[in-house]
Structure 1
Amino acid sequence: MKKTNILVSGAAGQSGGLILRELASRQQPVRALARNIASAKNGTDIPLIEWIEGDMLAKDTLRPALEGVERTILISSANDRMVETQCTFIDACKEAGVNHVIKFSGEESQEGYDAQQFRFTREHEQIEDYLEKSGIKWTHLRPSQFMQVYLRETAAISRHGALRLPLASIQMSPVDLRDVAKIAASLLIEGGYHGRSLRITGPEALSISEIARILSDTTGKEILYVPVSWEERKTALAATGMPGYFLDALAEQTAERVSKPQAFIDISTHQLFDITPTTFAQFAEQHKHIFNQQILMQVSKSTFNN
């Protein structure tokens, strides 16, 4: 395999995986960092990817992954050690002589949203500040809510015929994570945009009722938006095994979102990289098989039980 000077951290996750696939589609060799290669590959091999095991919390394990790397994208799970994990990785990049770190960050799309009111946007800003003071060239990617989060609601939609969320009548401007992956891939290949924070939203400000209508039109099944309380949502999420610290963070996020109901749209970063923003209707159509599969499974179970 051709030598590469590009590294994708967090390669086992959804964001890292989509960036790897985008780079591979452009025939770009890339190094991928994961704690467990077998699990990260999940039984599949993508050409042009050099997999290396390492723990972002253990700086010594990162040396082989960072050797010869000029540019990397910094991604890790949103968990209770995110700040420590990402700052340790930044320190390792500095020691290895990495030239440019692209921080995969985040920004809510509500007008006037206070980042300090939500644990993970607060921590992203803390990490951004640490990176800016490191002496390494930096770029921050700041996407808004991902369209992909609605794929997690398919089972609940099948059970209830509704999106049951504690979001009152607010708007959001969700972005397709695949658009973000295209932007990240271009940055990794071409570099540039040093010292810039790149905001990324979707092309529409949508209420949850409008999102439900789009899903209804796509699936041919009536899907309503049913506003619920945070406590009801918390009970449902806790039943899935979601850890307490994450539930607490989502409580902060929900409260701040509801208090700032209007969303802004900013597709300037799409335009910088000549990417046409994906609409939610396009996203729903492209993932129709997932939404319909869940619905059909539920119908099948109901027929069997009757």
Structure 2
Amino acid sequence: MILVTGATGLSGSAIVQEFARQGAPVRALFRSPDKARPLHGLANVELVEGDMLRPASLTKALHGVDRVLMISSAEKRMVETQCAFIDAAKAAGVPHIVKLSGKESGVGFDPAKFQGTREHVEIERYLEASGLAWTHLRPSQFMHRYLPGALTGVDASRRELRLPIGDIRLAPVDIEDIAKVAVALMRSDGHEGRAYDMTGPQALTMTEVVEHISKATETAFRYVNVSLEDKLREFKEMGVPDAFAQIIEEQLVERSRHPESHVRTEVHDTFGVRPTPFAEFARRHAKAFLGQ
């Protein structure tokens, strides 16, 4: 049995839905019944309620599981949550954990300079030392982070992408590509002790990103290279908690120091997944970019 944790989040729900689309059985762990409602009725998906921080709540979820795809929110005690889950899975006899991790695409990006990547590295090391078989799947920035509503996304009312990162290039990946790779990985053998880094198929400047959005929506969007101070002020006006704004600040500052980006699609090739270009993603989400 395969278990996917964090099944109601952005990546977890996409992966569970991909299992269902392929007709492959999967068990999906959720913490909030309200958030799990969209997953009800999916073919071959067994929904189980539990909390990764409370081992006693995981008995049913971990029973008979031989492989876990471990996902949890990066905003809520990720290190504590995932390390506690690793311990619970080991105690339950689960032999193999695949961690959905993350890796910035910028050439020279220092993972120690950004809390998100620091925490992923810490969890990876804990998993590797656990005695369990392990695999790391490390996608770069999600294309979904450009959608309105994301902290670093488009302002649909202004028709602007406002970021303090100049003309750097990033290689964002479509979450649907991640889902397809994750399902293929979980359904095949021979991945123990391996780390798979993946990006989208193009390294794009933010100007090129908005050009694709403009073409997809037939509406003029523009990139505004705001100052870091202005962006932090916008976060404050949006009601973003100071602690979380500081984390995003770390990421933006370190990104701005590394203008070039890796493009890594070898993992797509390994698992037979066609890399989705940003233009195709923008066409698929054109209404969302327009705030509709």
TM-score (norm: length of structure 1):
0.91
Which residue of structure 1 lines up, in the alignment, with residue 211 of structure 2?
213
Which residue of structure 1 lines up, in the alignment, with residue 173 of structure 2?
175
The whole-number CA distance in structure 1 between the counterparts of 2:109 and 2:65 is 36
Which residue of structure 2 lines up, in the alignment, with residue 53 of structure 1?
49
SS at match of 1:159: coil
> Which residue of 107, 111, 116 corresponds with 2:112?
116
Aligned residues of 1:67 and 1:96 also touching (Cα < 8 A): yes
Aligned residues of 1:37 and 1:51 also touching (Cα < 8 A): no
Gaps of 5+ in 1: 298-306
The whole-number CA distance in structure 1 between the counterparts of 2:193 and 2:137 is 11
Which residue of structure 2 lines up, in the alignment, with residue 260 of structure 1?
258
Which residue of structure 2 lines up, in the alignment, with residue 19 of structure 1?
15
1:66 aligns with 2:38: no
The whole-number CA distance in structure 1 between the counterparts of 2:44 and 2:206 is 40
Alignment of 1:124-273 (within 5 A): 124-152=120-148, 157-273=155-271
Deviation for aligned residue 1:158: 2.8
Deviation for aligned residue 1:130: 0.2
What root-mean-square deviation, in Å, do the aligned CA atoms of Structure 1 and Structure 2 show? Answer: 1.5
Letter in 2 for 1:226: V
Letter in 1 for 2:266: S
Deviation for aligned residue 1:237: 2.3
Aligned residues of 1:204 and 1:265 also touching (Cα < 8 A): yes
Letter in 2 for 1:51: L
1:41 aligns with 2:75: no
SS at match of 1:239: helix
Gaps of 5+ in 2: none
Aligned residues of 1:37 and 1:52 also touching (Cα < 8 A): no
Deviation for aligned residue 1:244: 2.3
Aligned residues of 1:94 and 1:136 also touching (Cα < 8 A): yes
Q: Compared with structure 1, are the counterparts of its residues 247 and 203 closer, same or farther at alpha carbon in structure 2 (3 Å cutoff)?
A: same
Which residue of structure 1 lines up, in the alignment, with residue 91 of structure 2?
95
SS at match of 2:148: helix
Deviation for aligned residue 1:150: 1.0
Deviation for aligned residue 1:231: 2.0
Q: Which stretch of structure 1 is more off in the superposition, 112-121 or 182-191?
A: 182-191
Letter in 1 for 2:211: R
The whole-number CA distance in structure 2 between the counterparts of 1:65 and 1:156 is 38
Q: Which stretch of structure 1 is more off in the superposition, 124-133 or 238-247?
A: 238-247
Deviation for aligned residue 1:153: 5.3
**Aligned residues with identical type, % of pairs:** 44
Give the paired residue count. 290
Aligned residues of 1:157 and 1:223 also touching (Cα < 8 A): no
Letter in 1 for 2:164: P
Aligned residues of 2:105 and 2:141 also touching (Cα < 8 A): yes
TM-score (norm: length of structure 2):
0.95
Q: What do residues 257-281 of structure 1 show as CA deviations (whole Å, max 9, x unaligned)?
A: 0001111101010010011100000
Letter in 2 for 1:95: A
Q: Which runs of 4+ in 1 moved over 4 A?
A: 153-156
Q: Compared with structure 1, are the counterparts of its residues 260 and 43 closer, same or farther at alpha carbon in structure 2 (3 Å cutoff)?
A: closer
The whole-number CA distance in structure 2 between the counterparts of 1:53 and 1:278 is 33
Q: Which is higher, the Rg of structure 1 or of structure 2?
A: 1
Structure with greater helix percent: 1
Q: Compared with structure 1, are the counterparts of its residues 272 and 159 closer, same or farther at alpha carbon in structure 2 (3 Å cutoff)?
A: same
Q: Compared with structure 1, are the counterparts of its residues 156 and 286 closer, same or farther at alpha carbon in structure 2 (3 Å cutoff)?
A: closer
Aligned residues of 2:146 and 2:154 also touching (Cα < 8 A): no
The whole-number CA distance in structure 2 between the counterparts of 1:124 and 1:243 is 22
Aligned residues of 1:153 and 1:163 also touching (Cα < 8 A): no
Deviation for aligned residue 1:188: 1.6
